A and B are shown apart, each in its own frame.
Chain A
Amino acid sequence: MTVSELVARADLKAAALPDGEREITGVYIGDLLSWVMGRAASGDAWITIMSNRNVAAVATLADTACVILAEGVQPDEGVAALAEQKGINLLLSGASAYDTALRLRDLL
């Protein structure tokens, strides 16, 4: 499933969607960025509650398909624009990380 399809079908909001055709091949959940950096796989939808610039950098390094901010967390100032500029899909979910992951489980 592509990131654009996920947005439409999982009740997510896109804060930045520069690469909606990107295919999602897995899911990773984590908030400790140094940990995520070495473990999230290329093509993962990464669910986190962290919302700063470093999230965009880790998403780039790990080559995730998208970042999903869970729990209704909003990106810090300037982060949505940064994501757009760096080609990172940044989605927002009002649900918990667990419930967001469950939705992905059903859809993927």
Chain B
Amino acid sequence: MKELSLNILDIAENSVKAGASLTRLLLDEADTALTLTVADDGCGMDGETVRRVTDPFYTTRTTRSVGLGLPLLKLEAEMTGGSMTVESRDASNFPDDHGTTVTAVFRTDHIDCPPLGDVIATVTTLIQGHPDTDFLFRHTRQGKDAVELDTRELRQVLEDVPLDSYEVLQWIEGFLTEAYE
């Protein structure tokens, strides 16, 4: 992808498809490493499936459910000298604690490291597309205040107002824009 934020969107969509009620989107910038973590409490995958999700041909079958997102994310991370890992606990073996965590590390001083892109648009797009599931977004940057948004907290304040209503989305966009300033 030309921008990392598009990868976030892509991977987070997998989480929603896996039935996640909460998906955590974490960005951490430290020195020359940018770590992207997408952690959900969805149905998870068994060990065999986890081993295959980075195989592009596993995901290109006609029955594919996860797209080429993970193989490409892995490639992009490795092209910068970084790495990608997938950890998962499937619901049938871990009924009380299941989900998938994708962690990708990019080396930001590598010429092939893509720019982060429009993270605010990514977060608002996810919330707009999936107003009934929760997202926790946290972006920590060296020497700066963390940018954080938790839709569970928004829900408490908003009560019955849906998260995909125009005013709420506008507010989220404004809130994040201000937080990044």
Point out residues on A near B: beta carbons under 8 Å: 32-35, 37, 52-54, 56-58, 60-61, 82, 86
Contacts and interface: CB of A to CB of B under 8 A. Distances in A.
Q: Interface size bucket, B side?
A: 10 to 19
Contacts of B2: 32, 34-35
Nearest to B59: A57
B68 A37 contact: yes
Contacts of A58: 56, 68
Given A58-B68, A61-B68, A33 B75 contact: yes
B68 A86 contact: no
Contact of A57 (B1, B6, B56): B56
A56 B56 contact: yes
A86 to B, nearest CB: 7
B81 interface: no
B57 interface: yes
Given A33-B75, A35-B2, A37-B68, 18 more contacts: A33-B72, A34-B72, A35-B1, A52-B75, A53-B55, A53-B57, A54-B68, A54-B71, A54-B75, A57-B56, A57-B57, A57-B59, A57-B60, A57-B71, A58-B56, A58-B68, A60-B57, A61-B68
Interface of B: 1-2, 6, 55-57, 59-60, 68, 71-72, 75
A37 B75 CA distance: 15
B60 A61 contact: yes
Contacts of B59: 57
Nearest to B1: A34
Contacts of A34: 1-2, 6, 68, 72
The 7 closest A-B pairs by CB, nearest first: A57-B56, A34-B1, A54-B56, A57-B60, A54-B71, A34-B72, A54-B75
Nearest to B73: A34
Contacts of B72: 33-34, 54
A58 B59 CA distance: 11
